[in-house]
């Protein structure tokens, strides 16, 4: 298992992922953060009822369940990219439209416990895969959404994406949702 995954350099990811990479590099250990985020998600959201998790802070905003479903979608998309890149596959990988994915899924009909459990299962599978990656695999590069991306950048993006949405949930959602 990797003790530490060095942060990527700016040429290893698209500029629009800089926030995610920065958030991940603020963690003491990105590999350890993969597991810590499971606990953080449980601590923040396990007490919510399904009705509370349907809360939206405004028109056009996602519900808490939709944010969780989005986390699961991105965990899958980024981990697929990670697998392909770490295996040396240089086939360009397309982007995806997150709004379309959320709209098509109907996450508000899912249970909040089911969405959190799904995240945990996906993340644990990713931790196993990442744990076996060699330094050579972590440094492999491919193309996603028209930009060069490295395996280690994708790991940072996976962590930073969750941190980004957890911050949003804390700032805009949870204080109101728990009072419903």
Please report the domains of the chain, with CATH numbers, ordered by start residue.
Answer: 10-177 (1.20.120.450)
Give the pTM. 0.95
Distance of CA 20 to the CA centre of its chain: 9
**Residue-level pLDDT at 1:** 55
Residue linked to tokens 């089911």? 114
> Residue 147: beta bridge partners?
144
Name the stretches of the chain with pLDDT < 70: 1-3
Residue ranges in the chain assigned as alpha helix (H): 18-25, 30-45, 64-86, 98-105, 112-131, 135-139, 151-168, 174-177
| Maximum CA extent, the chain | 50
**Distance (Å, rounded) from C-alpha 27 to C-alpha 66?**
26
Contact 139, 86 (CB under 8 A): no
Tokens of 62: 């996602």
Q: Please tell me whether residue 149 adopts helix, strand or coil conformation.
A: strand
- Three-state helix/strand/coil letters over 23-43: HHHCCCCHHHHHHHHHHHHHH
- Could you read off the pLDDT of 68-78 as tens digits, one per residue? 999 999 999 99
**Residue-level pLDDT at 173:** 86
């Amino acid at each position: 298992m990797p003790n530490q995954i060095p942060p990527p350099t700016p040429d290893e990811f698209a500029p629009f992922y800089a926030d995610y990479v920065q958030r991940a590099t603020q963690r003491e250990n990105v590999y350890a953060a993969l597991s810590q985020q499971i606990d953080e998600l449980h601590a923040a959201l396990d007490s919510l009822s399904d009705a509370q998790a349907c809360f939206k802070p405004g028109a056009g905003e996602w519900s808490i369940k939709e944010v969780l479903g989005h986390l699961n979608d991105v965990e899958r998309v980024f981990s697929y990219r990670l697998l392909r890149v770490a295996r040396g596959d240089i086939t360009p990988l397309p982007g995806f439209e997150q709004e379309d994915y959320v709209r098509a899924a109907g996450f508000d009909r899912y249970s909040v416990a089911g969405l959190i459990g799904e995240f945990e299962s996906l993340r644990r599978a990713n931790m196993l895969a990442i744990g076996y990656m060699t330094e050579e695999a972590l440094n492999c590069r491919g193309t996603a959404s028209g930009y060069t991306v490295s395996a280690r950048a994708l790991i940072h993006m996976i962590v930073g994406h969750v941190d980004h949405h957890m911050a949003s949930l804390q700032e805009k959602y949870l204080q109101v949702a728990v009072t419903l």
